[in-house]
Amino acid sequence: MSTRRQFLQASTLLGALGSTAPGLLASPRSGKEARVVSTWDFGVGANQAAWNVLAGGGSALDAVEAGARWAESDLCNSTVGRCGYPDRDGVLSLDASIMAGDGRCGSVAALEDILHPISVARRVMEQTPHVMLVGEGARQFALQQGFPQQKLLTREADAAWREWLKTERYAPQINAERRGIPGDKDNHDTLGILAIDTNGQMAGACTTSGMAWKLRGRVGDSPIIGAGLYVDNEVGAATASGMGEEMIRNAASFLVVELMRQGRSPAEACQEAIQRVVRKRPEASRTLQVCFLAMNRNGEVGAYALHRGFVYAVCDSRKQDALLDSASVYASTQR
Ligand code: ASP
């Protein structure tokens, strides 16, 4: 029940934020309000980086890239960027995608040795005729584009991997840190970030180190346009975090945007997409986390998750560090 209550509170707050209250950053030309939203608590920092761009009149595309870069540099995050946990062979490989509301997009998957996969994804979008580059090809492209090569695996991530080798048990956890499990770091999450700028242009970005201890070569949903991220200026934008295989099976972010196109609010669209995950794999859905975050072209925001514990950050000219609880199907995160 408390989850439902929190959801209502969040909806009410965002309803207010979505109104035409005075003081919101509005362009005299379009009257659009800028807003940026991100997955998880580390989304607060990512939003601030993005807001610095939006508040200066910058584009949604530049804003989401800045937010994603902030998360990729974060020294406290075991699930995104330089401090991410590696695969089962002890290799850190990163996935990222970026999409503009006019349909331009780019992504990289299983990228090694490069600090900012999101910026490489943007170069794929802007400098190549392709959408996605993977593995060694993506790395070579990044080097040709002038990105420095860096050994990224931290001492802490390497130690966690060595500890994991004692059992070699692939066991994705549901919100481990947020459940306060002593000594446990989250072993998967994603920074998904969506923005609308004062010209009414939308953009999104997604960046992650994927599932800790994944098979070498595994690619999650985050770099797959339509799975981990989808943006359409006509409707809105969606992003995802959690067990990427479920997002890929359901073309989930595309699904959320299409549900909004059919008239659902962002929260309703996320909820219906989550229900589809449950209907397809009811047993599995009890043991894994899936979370959706969406914003429509009016700047209204909604989220839904399988399990309690998903939080998302909202930032606009009124409040830069709002962190809200998502509603969920299951109240318990115990497995
Ligand atoms: N969606 C990411 C992946 O499957 C992980 C996560 O966000 O929890 O790679």
* Ligand 1 binding pocket includes 208 (Cβ within 6 Å): yes
Any idea what DSSP says for residue 253? H
- pLDDT tens digits along 77-90: 889 999 999 999 99
Q: Where are the alpha helices (DSSP H) in 213-292?
A: 244-250, 252-261, 266-280
Asked whether 255 and 227 are in contact (CB, 8 A), the reply is no
pTM for the model stands at: 0.90
| Tokens coding 133 | 């580059």
Report domain extents, the chain. 4-330
Ligand 1 atom closest to the CA of 243, numbered from 1: 4
* Ligand 1 binding pocket includes 48 (Cβ within 6 Å): no
List of the chain residues with pLDDT < 50:
1-29, 335
- pLDDT tens digits along 230-275: 999 999 999 999 999 999 999 999 999 999 999 999 999 999 999 9
Asked whether 33 and 25 are in contact (CB, 8 A), the reply is yes
Q: Where are the alpha helices (DSSP H) in the chain?
A: 2-17, 43-55, 60-73, 117-127, 135-144, 155-164, 244-250, 252-261, 266-280
| DSSP three-state, residue 266 | helix
In 3D space, the residue among 232, 230, 252, 231 whose CA is nearest the CA of residue 242 turns out to be: 252
Residue 13 has a pLDDT of 43
Residue 8 has a pLDDT of 35
* Ligand 1 binding pocket includes 222 (Cβ within 6 Å): yes
Asked whether 83 and 189 are in contact (CB, 8 A), the reply is no
In 3D space, the residue among 308, 300, 325, 307 whose CA is nearest the CA of residue 35 turns out to be: 300
Residue 175 has a pLDDT of 73
* Distance (Å) from CA 23 to ligand 1 centroid: 36
Ligand 1 atom closest to the CA of 192, numbered from 1: 7
What CATH number has the domain spanning 4-330?
3.60.20.30
Residue 78 has a pLDDT of 86
Residue 32 has a pLDDT of 80
- Which residues are designated catalytic? 190
